[in-house]
Structure 1
Amino acid sequence: MAIFDGARTLGIWGYGREGQAVHRFVRAQYSGIAVTVLLDQADYALELPKGVALLNGDSAVHAIAQGRFDVIVKSPGISLKRQEIVDAKAAGTRVTSSTNLWLEANGVAGTIGVTGTKGKSTTSTLILHMLRAAGRDAKLLGNAGTAAIGEAPAVDHTILELSSYQTADLDRAPALVVVNNLYPEHVPWHGSVEAYYDDKLRLATIECHVPAVLNYRDAEIRKRLGERANVTWFNDGQGYTAVGASLSYQGRPVSLTGAVPKGEHNLSNVAAAATVALLLDALEDPWSIDLGGFATLPHRMEEFAVGGLTCVDDSISTVPQATMAALSVYAGRPIHLILGGSERGQDHAALPDAIRAAGVVSLWLLPDTGRRMEAEFAGRLDEVTMTPVADLDAAVRGACELADEGDVLLLSPAAPSFVQFRSFEERGAQFRALCERYADNSSPGGGGGPA
């Protein structure tokens, strides 16, 4: 059954950029459907087109739970585990997403779905770069860029970057699927780590005949999808494999030119993208890849020099594994590391060893997870100056006062940003501004920092 078959009423749950795009799409394609915008906020006012209803707060929740809509298209951030969604489905409402609308409207031909806990934006952008370099008409839609709904597919390849919120209720798989890695993340939304893994891997399990590009080095992926048919592995020693600062294919070194991203984790993203390009006959020489024109995405190990310091904005780091990957890039240099953010029950057990091995000289711990880290790291990092701080301003100021010329000031928080910021982008932008304020005006090696 098509999503809107027999539907007379539609609830659009959430009315940000994507919700508005859904509304435009429905208005153009299904003009006879009565539309209601649903908002969790109790007192939020909106100017809506004539004939469109608005329900807020409890009124919206009750209408959803009572099954008053034939179809609900929800924003990705609204968890499928919410009781009102469970009740709505039981009452016969079709609860779906803009991704499902787009795939139903445009079909899956030429689509490439990319997911993974970390690196999916970089991998998607690398795939786009390689396909365009081969002369293909390609575009990137989805999680980090332009919402897919309302956008026409590319002539040759449409890359859909998909978060776990978007894969959790997929109705169909894209023509080719890519999974980078799996780490515990977004547990409150999914309900458990196991549910997160299941929802994330739905991209590769909903239609197991679809070709899949998977990371052999990731034990969780290997355990769950090791017997899946039609898989091309990377990081398996035979296909594209990243080790340290090198990439190989069939055991032979690959020549990388242009803007090669730093770190083994980023070379793993290159390996995934190159595997896709090779499958699509978009690489002229498998052992020579030109990344000229590729630019590192903002807030992903983004380096800038200020006042003799190497400042690194890795605000996208929301899990400990991402922080450990960033530390490995700067190992051997004096590092001043800023950690901490929203509490999601992250497992920090492996962080102290990575911090010690990298040569971190000072730690600046932000709320909320910073408080837990201080207790967990006690007695394990006696050689590291460890300072709890109230906010990012205090962390950057203290680190700049302590740092010597040539040191690395690394923001890689191992936690989401939502305690003090609206997004990781806002956190990263503030980090840069604070570095420019304090690193330019500090006296390197002056010592001190906030108590």
Structure 2
Amino acid sequence: MIALLGYGKTNQALLEFINHNGEKCVVFDDAFIEKRIDSFGNNFLPPLQKVQTRLQIPSPGIPPFHPMIKQAQSLVSEYDFLLGDIKRQIWISGTNGKTTTTEMLEWILKDCGGISGGNIGVPLASLATLLPKIWILETSSFSLHYTQSVFPQVYLLLPIREDHISWHGSFDAYVRAKLSPIERMNHECVAVIPKEFEMFDEVLKSSAHIVTYGTSEDLADYFGFDLSQVKFQEPFLLDAMLALSGAKILTGKDLSKKLLDYKVGAHKVEEFQDEIGRVWVDDSKGTNVDATIWALRSYRGKKIYLILGGDDKGADLVPLFQELQEYDAEIFGIGSNVERLGDLAQKFKIRFSACYFLEQAIKEIDLKHSLESIAMLSPAASSLDQFVSYKQRGELFQEMAKKCRKA
């Protein structure tokens, strides 16, 4: 019997896959209060019940300090469990841009049988039933932390910045999780990574071919892409370069033309206007400091009303406030870290309003926003303290902002 630790979307799909292959599971989750058994004979139990199992597979989001993880004797990731015999895999990781790079790569390779999944879209276990010719996997640091044996044919690593510190325990542990698959990769594999990591042990010990980059231009030069034929600006240009690099490694072809019809997804520096024509920017996907800094740089020289706040996951926010000193910006704080934001704003002498809730922030911005200024939601924090997801946060922001009419 296999134990599934946690019962989110990932393990729900995994349970179905395991049952289809004739094995039963015991599922543990903090939300379970009492034991139940389903029609397949799977047991659903509160955590820490003693049951003999041959493997324990965690939901990626369960942190390593959770008692279920500490108690596990034979812990493997869903990647280890499902991907051992799969050859044509591309993993995409890093801090910002994973989703866009993954979506771009699927767009480029869809005619070659590429299908994306993992951290976005199709759960890994559901992807296993589709048997794509090319597996394109957005891979989180959580999944990488638990993965011990499998590795991709191609690994595309975006820049790494502070994120998920409370989960990993330190920035170094977060970085090491991101670099971990490189050490396992063999001479038939290619890893495309930021140049700053080329001397890390995980890279030096690897048998893979390592390609390093510092900028989008570096990737264009190495792989022979014409940047004038790629329509994106930073930060999406780097995403495009990495996606095209991965495609060229697998196919040997420059598939830049395939991206001409691709559009960046919602809630990523997405501009819209309210009823009187003022510009608002939905960057709800900006869940960490580096993402928010990139969003701000698109509007240098403008008056910016910036909504910040949420669950910042223990990250160092000082670099963001240092960046904000270069702007004519006013902050409107929401979410669980409002007091922390307020203290930093006072330290760096940046105007700040403690709004606590998104609706209040929008109301206060509405009174100040003009046709010449920019109103932006780029929280540098997770949404889960007040919202179901960054998507819900962004949708509510757009819904409320579009109705604004300056008094």
- TM-score where L is the length of structure 2: 0.89
Q: 1:23: Cα distance to partner? A: 1.6
> How far is 1:115 from its partner?
0.8
Shift of 1:298: 2.0
| 1:176 match | 154
Report the Cα distance in structure 2 between the residues aligned to 1:351 and 1:125, rounded to whole angstroms. 28
Q: Percentage identity across aligned positions?
A: 24
Aligned Cα root-mean-square deviation (Å): 2.6
| Structure-2 residue corresponding to 1:48 | 38
The amino acid that maps onto 1:255 is S
Cα pair 1:114 1:177 within 8 Å, conserved: yes
- C-alpha contact 1:74 1:95 (8 A) present in aligned 2: yes
Question: What does residue range 408-447 of structure 1 map to in structure 2 within 5 Å?
Answer: 408-438=374-404, 441-443=405-407
Equivalent-residue separation in structure 2 for 1:300 and 1:334 (angstroms): 20
**Mapping 1:41-440, distance limit 5 Å:** 41-43=31-33, 48-56=38-46, 60-63=47-50, 68-89=52-73, 94-104=74-84, 107-132=85-110, 135-151=111-127, 152=129, 155-170=132-147, 171-209=149-187, 211-216=189-194, 219-220=196-197, 223=200, 227=204, 228=206, 229-235=208-214, 239-240=218-219, 254-257=227-230, 260-262=231-233, 264-281=234-251, 283-284=253-254, 289-306=257-274, 307-357=276-326, 359-381=327-349, 384-438=350-404
3-state SS of the aligned residue for 2:86?
coil
Change (3 A) 1:34 1:158: closer
**Alignment partner of 2:329: what SS?**
strand
Match of 1:292, SS state, is: helix
CA-to-aligned-CA distance 1:111-162 (integer Å, 9 cap, x gap)? 1111111111111111122223xx4221111101110213245553210111
Distance 1:164 1:188 in 2: 13
Cα 1:318–1:87 change in 2 (3 A) is same
How big is the shift at 1:179? 0.9
TM-aligned CA distance change 1:329 to 1:282, over 3 Å: farther
Does the 8 Å CA contact 1:123/1:272 hold for their aligned counterparts?
Answer: yes
Q: How much does 1:379 deviate?
A: 4.8
Deviations 1:340-377 (CA, angstroms, capped at 9, x unpaired): 111422212222332232x3332111233232122123
1:108 deviation in Å?
A: 2.5
Q: The residue matched to 1:291 in structure 2 has which SS?
A: helix
What is the number of residues matched between the two proteins?
Answer: 402
Point out the structure with max Rg over C-alpha: 1
Secondary structure in structure 2 of the residue aligned to 1:121 = helix
- Give a deviation string over 1:39-96, Cα, whole Å, max 9, x none: 212437878324222212xxx3132xxx62222222111123334423321xxxx222
1:197 alignment partner AA: V
What corresponds to 2:26 in structure 1? 36
In structure 2, what is the Cα distance between the partners aligned to 1:416 and 1:236?
A: 27
Task: Say if 1:404 and 1:230 are closer, same or farther in 2 by CA, change over 3 A.
Answer: same
- CA shift for structure 1 position 211: 2.7
Cα distance 1:237–1:403, how it changes in 2: closer, same or farther (>3 A)? Answer: closer
Distance in 2 separating the partners of 1:137 and 1:411: 36
Shift of 1:230: 0.8
**Offset at 1:251?**
9.0
1:95 match: secondary structure? coil
Structure 1 residues 265 and 223: CA distance shift in structure 2, 3 A:
farther
* Amino acid of the structure 2 residue aligned with 1:11: A
One-letter amino acid matched to 1:96 = V
Give yes or no for contact 1:128–1:159 (8 Å, CA) kept in 2.
Answer: yes
User: 2:102 touches 2:243 (CA, 8 Å); kept in 1?
Assistant: yes
- The alpha carbon displacement at 1:236 in A equals 5.5
- Contact 2:88 2:153 (C-alpha < 8 Å) held by counterparts: yes
* Structure 1 residues 84 and 172, CA gap change in structure 2 (3 angstroms): same
Deviations 1:172-205 (A, max 9, x none): 1021111112112212222222222212222222
Is 1:22 paired with 2:14? Answer: yes
User: SS in structure 2 opposite 1:62?
Assistant: coil
Give the Cα–Cα distance (whole angstroms) in 1 for the partners of residues 201 and 390 of structure 2.
30
Structure 1 unmatched ranges of 5 or more: 1-8, 242-247, 444-451
Determine helix, strand or coil for the equivalent of 2:400: helix
1:13 matched to 2:5? The reply is yes
TM-score, with length taken from structure 1: 0.81
Q: Which runs of 5+ in 2 are unaligned?
A: none
* Aligned 8 A contact 1:237 1:250 in 2: no
Kept in 1, the 8 Å contact 2:157–2:194? The answer is: no
Q: Residues of 2 paired with 1:230 and 1:308: CA distance?
A: 51
